[in-house]
């Protein structure tokens, strides 16, 4: 294991708040990058969320552990000049404002590129930097709605179900940002020149709807809620309630898995080919699964390839012995003498910096980074 991580020596300026940008820079920090969080006077809003952990919120702590905090007052006429030392020495800048905000602050890509041509400048936004929706205020639910994903699964009255995860913020924002930043750094290392990369969450989240998009592309019609193979229309990909009012996630999509599943639950042979009447098969499987407890079914399926698991809550997942064996929650965040598990990240352990306990930065604790003493490091980076 590299004790410093593959991104050791990379300096990241993080102007983002809440989830998408901070999660992206957290991943970079865990891989060894130095992340400097630029916060407004008083700190970012997330510090005050509940539940509290130490002097800030648990959310702020886990998303910003291991970073530095520098207070930046955008209204200060000398603010940009004070940031120059950081801009000149940085490798990456991440911002999450609506299009045009950074330019109005004098921190647009052209402004920063003139100061540091090697900088990789990453913009995360909702709808891109141009077009009719570019300036629209929105959050994860709005991006998922705009992409068509929200319409794929609905309740019995036809109301779309709320997503169980922040799909656009993480899958359409943070993770694509990391991918594009790393690609741009690779290009910068070869050419000596950085670039601006943009992640529009409402567009990147479309990657999560391949079956639905392809159905529309081929047929010209969008899948109706609960009718497609992966959105509840197939008996092979559904959630079924058990006798003890728990639920099984049943996903034997491949024919060999489906045949084993049908045999084990005793599904009548005439219902196993569900192509003509999937609803009848769904009703039959629903009735059969409801006759046994979840544990009884899992005992029945033990050792078999049926792609069936119990729907667990988050508490059960956090105490899963397999997760513990793999060290999923081994990393910790510390505040005021207490520790909580850090957010699990999609990083191979060999790429992490090797520090298992970290703290979130106090507001402005890194303000000394603005001092002239950092010029030596700045000159080293620009000359590299």
Catalytic residue among 56, 91, 169, 228: 169
* Candidates 113, 139, 216, 320; catalytic one: 139
Distance CA 116, CA 122 (A): 14
Tokens 């005793």 belong to 266
CA distances from 70 to 5, 87, 313, 361 (A): 23, 13, 38, 9
Report helix angle 175-191 to 20-30, nearest 10.
Answer: 50
Question: Which residues lie closer than 8 Å to 23 by C-beta, 6 or more apart?
Answer: 63, 169, 170, 173, 174, 343
> Within the chain, how many helices (H) and strands (E) appear?
15, 14
Burial (CB count within 10 angstroms: exposed 0-12, middle 13-18, buried 19+), residue 194: buried
Instruction: Name the residue with tokens 């708040």.
Output: 17
Q: What are the residues facing 334 on neighbouring strands?
A: 339, 359
Report the distance separating Cα 114 and Cα 80, nearest Å: 13
For the chain, state the CA radius of gyration.
25
Is 139 a known active-site residue? yes
Task: Please indicate whether residue 216 is annotated as part of the active site.
Answer: no
Provide the 8-state DSSP code for 318: H
Pair 45, 23: CB distance under 8 Å: no
CB 366 within 8 Å of CB 36: yes
Residue 106 near residue 112, CB atoms below 8 Å: no
Task: Tell how strand 34-39 and strand 11-14 pair up.
Answer: parallel
**What three-state secondary structure class fits 165?**
coil
* Cα 105 from Cα 285, distance rounded (Å): 60
3-state DSSP assignment of residue 22: helix
- Residues acting as catalytic residues: 139, 169
């Amino acid at each position: 294991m590299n004790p410093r991580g593959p991104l050791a020596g990379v300096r990241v300026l993080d102007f983002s708040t809440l989830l998408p940008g901070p999660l992206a820079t957290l991943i970079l920090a865990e891989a060894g990058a130095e992340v400097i969080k630029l916060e407004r006077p008083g700190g970012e809003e997330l510090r005050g969320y509940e539940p509290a952990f130490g002097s800030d919120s648990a959310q702020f702590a886990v998303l910003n552990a291991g970073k530095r905090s520098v207070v930046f007052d955008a209204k200060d006429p000398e603010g940009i000049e004070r940031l120059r030392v950081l801009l000149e020495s940085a490798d990456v800048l991440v911002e999450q404002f609506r299009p045009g905000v950074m330019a109005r602050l004098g921190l647009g890509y052209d402004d920063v590129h003139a100061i540091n041509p090697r900088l990789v400048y990453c913009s995360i936004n909702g709808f891109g930097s141009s077009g009719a929706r570019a300036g629209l205020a929105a959050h994860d639910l709005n991006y998922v709605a705009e992409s068509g994903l929200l319409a794929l699964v609905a309740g019995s009255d036809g109301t779309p179900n709320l997503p169980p995860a922040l799909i656009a913020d993480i899958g359409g924002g943070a993770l694509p940002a990391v991918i594009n930043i790393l690609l741009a750094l690779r290009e910068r290392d070869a050419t000596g020149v950085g670039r601006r990369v943009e992640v529009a969450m409402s567009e990147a989240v479309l990657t999560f709807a391949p079956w639905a998009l392809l159905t529309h592309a081929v047929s010209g019609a969008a899948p109706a809620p609960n009718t497609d193979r992966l959105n509840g229309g197939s008996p092979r990909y559904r959630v079924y309630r058990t006798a003890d009012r728990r639920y099984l996630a049943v996903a034997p999509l491949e024919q060999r898995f489906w045949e084993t599943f049908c045999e084990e639950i005793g599904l009548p042979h005439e219902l196993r080919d569900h192509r003509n009447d999937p609803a009848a098969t769904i009703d039959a499987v629903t009735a059969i699964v409801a006759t046994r407890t979840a544990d009884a079914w899992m005992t029945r399926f033990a050792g078999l390839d049926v792609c069936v698991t119990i729907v667990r809550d988050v508490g059960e997942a956090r105490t899963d012995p397999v997760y513990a064996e793999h060290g999923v929650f081994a990393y910790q965040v510390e505040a005021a003498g207490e520790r909580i598990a850090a957010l699990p990240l999609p990083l191979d352990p060999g790429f992490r910096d090797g520090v298992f306990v970290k703290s979130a930065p106090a507001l402005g604790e890194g303000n000394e980074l603005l001092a002239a003493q950092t010029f030596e490091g700045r000159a080293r980076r620009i000359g590299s």
